[in-house]
Amino acid sequence: MSRSGFIGLAGRPNVGKSTLANALAGAKVAIVSDRPQTTRRAVRAIVTEPVPAPSWQMVLVDLPGVQKPRDVLTERMQRRVEREVADSDAIVFVLNGAQGIGAGDRFIATRMLEAKADTPVICAVNKIDMLKRHEVVAVLAAAAGLEVVDEVFPISARRGTGLEPLRERLIDLLPEGPLLYPAGERSDETSEVHLAELIREQILRRTREEIPHAVEVEVAEVTHRDDGLAEVRADVWAETDSQKAILIGKRGHMVREIGSAARREIEAELGTRVFLDLRVRVRPRWRRDESLLDRLGID
């Protein structure tokens, strides 16, 4: 009998959930940066082992970081976290070991305990490569002391340390059942959303202050020409004219730099040459715009 199920990855912003999802999947499914709100949707990384029998499929759900909602965008993100956690067959509670366990982690643990029912909660203490041995021991003991946690695994998602034992335990927790997705799929994101995220990743890497929070990307069109070139046209949404000016940069330097880096990522994704047309546009208070959030698929 095959095994399959959903594994929710929960935790504070910037604890390494997306890096862990990519590492366990063996492919870049979720974008990564050190900015809050990097993950705005529930990104599913599908890991399938069709042979040898019995086969298994693990659907890793990379969730937005738990935070206090400030606008319609973050309200939607938190509602999605709660729904996905409730529907998961197991939960990986990711902690940043380098920062220790703080009030935010304890708050999330309390919320998960309230909604847990019989769902196993595995705690992955990330970034242990940044700690000394006695520090690792201390943070693992603190994690084990959280009432919601059933088991604790020390890992470094970036370096790959400790991932195999965690992976094997998660496979053990998958319930019996048929595969949920075709064996060749690695994500349920649409191509347009994934390409938009690759562009947004480059913006996050090059901007500071409010810009990362105030920007979203929407791929309007992807056209494959007869000569093999793919044309990708995308809108970069900002909230103010001053943000737009920063994104464009002096004499267009910033938007060209973002476009060049994003084009390389998209070419690697599509396996073909790409012409990327980026348009920076202003939509005031888009983070409170229900219709735009619907169109962007942030539900």
Q: What is the pLDDT of residues 109-123, one digit of tens each?
A: 887 777 677 889 999
Q: Say whether 48 sits in a helix, a strand or coil.
A: strand
- How do beta strands 3-10 and 90-96 pair? parallel
pLDDT mean over 68-81: 75
Q: What does the pLDDT read at residue 36?
A: 61
From residue 28, give the alpha-carbon distance in Å to each of 23, 183, 197, 291: 8, 17, 11, 29
From residue 175, give the alpha-carbon distance in Å to each of 95, 111, 180, 227, 264: 25, 24, 12, 47, 39
- How do beta strands 274-282 and 216-224 pair? unpaired
Q: What does the pLDDT read at residue 90?
A: 94
CB-side neighbour CA atoms (13 Å) of 33: 22
Between CA 238 and CA 125 the distance in angstroms is 35
Q: Are residues 197 and 154 in the same domain?
A: no
Domain assignment present for residue 183? The answer is: no
pLDDT mean over 242-263: 95
Between residues 75 and 191, which one has the greater pLDDT? 191
Q: What does the pLDDT read at residue 50?
A: 74
Q: What does the pLDDT read at residue 190?
A: 87
Domain assignment present for residue 178? The answer is: no
DSSP summary character for residue 65: P
CB-side neighbour CA atoms (13 Å) of 91: 29
Between residues 244 and 288, which one has the greater pLDDT? 244
The pLDDT mean for the chain works out to 89
In the predicted structure, residue 295 carries a pLDDT above the cut 70: yes
Q: Are residues 159 and 228 in the same domain?
A: no
Between CA 43 and CA 186 the distance in angstroms is 11
Q: Are residues 162 and 209 in the same domain?
A: no
| Overall domain count for the chain | 2
Between CA 99 and CA 139 the distance in angstroms is 9
Q: What does the pLDDT read at residue 66?
A: 65
pLDDT mean over 261-283: 95
In the predicted structure, residue 210 carries a pLDDT above the cut 80: no
Q: Are residues 202 and 109 in the same domain?
A: no
Calculated CA dihedral for residues 250, 255, 260, 263, nearest 10 degrees = -170
Q: What does the pLDDT read at residue 112?
A: 78
Between CA 18 and CA 179 the distance in angstroms is 23
Between residues 83 and 261, which one has the greater pLDDT? 261
Q: What does the pLDDT read at residue 298?
A: 75
Q: What does the pLDDT read at residue 28?
A: 85
Q: How confident is the model at residue 37 (pLDDT cuts 50, 70, 90)?
A: low
The domain of 124 spans 3-173
Q: Are residues 126 and 72 in the same domain?
A: yes
Calculated CA dihedral for residues 192, 193, 199, 201, nearest 10 degrees = -160
Q: Are residues 15 and 158 in the same domain?
A: yes
DSSP summary character for residue 117: T
Q: Are residues 27 and 59 in the same domain?
A: yes
Q: How confident is the model at residue 213 (pLDDT cuts 50, 70, 90)?
A: confident
Domain assignment present for residue 180? The answer is: no
In the predicted structure, residue 67 carries a pLDDT above the cut 70: no
Query: Which residue is associated with the tokens 């206090």?
Result: 68
Q: What does the pLDDT read at residue 154?
A: 97
Domain assignment present for residue 179? The answer is: no
Q: Are 2 and 55 in contact, with CB atoms under 8 Å apart?
A: yes
Residues in contact with 90: Cβ distance below 8 Å, sequence separation at least 6, in sequence order = 5, 7, 8, 119, 120, 121, 122, 170, 173, 174
Q: Are residues 166 and 196 in the same domain?
A: no
Domain assignment present for residue 184? The answer is: no
Q: How confident is the model at residue 13 (pLDDT cuts 50, 70, 90)?
A: confident
In the predicted structure, residue 53 carries a pLDDT above the cut 90: no
Q: Say whether 10 sits in a helix, a strand or coil.
A: strand
Which of these, 65, 73, 66, 93, lies nearest to 8 by C-alpha position?
93
CATH number at residue 223: 3.30.300.20
Domain assignment present for residue 182? The answer is: no
Between CA 79 and CA 16 the distance in angstroms is 21
Domain assignment present for residue 91? The answer is: yes
Q: Are residues 126 and 15 in the same domain?
A: yes
Q: Are residues 130 and 46 in the same domain?
A: yes
pLDDT mean over 203-214: 84
Q: Are residues 28 and 107 in the same domain?
A: yes
Q: What does the pLDDT read at residue 77?
A: 74
Prediction pTM value: 0.84
Q: What is the pLDDT of residues 96-110, one digit of tens each?
A: 999 999 888 888 888
Q: Are residues 165 and 208 in the same domain?
A: no
Cα-based angle 84, 77, 158 (whole degrees, multiple of 5): 75
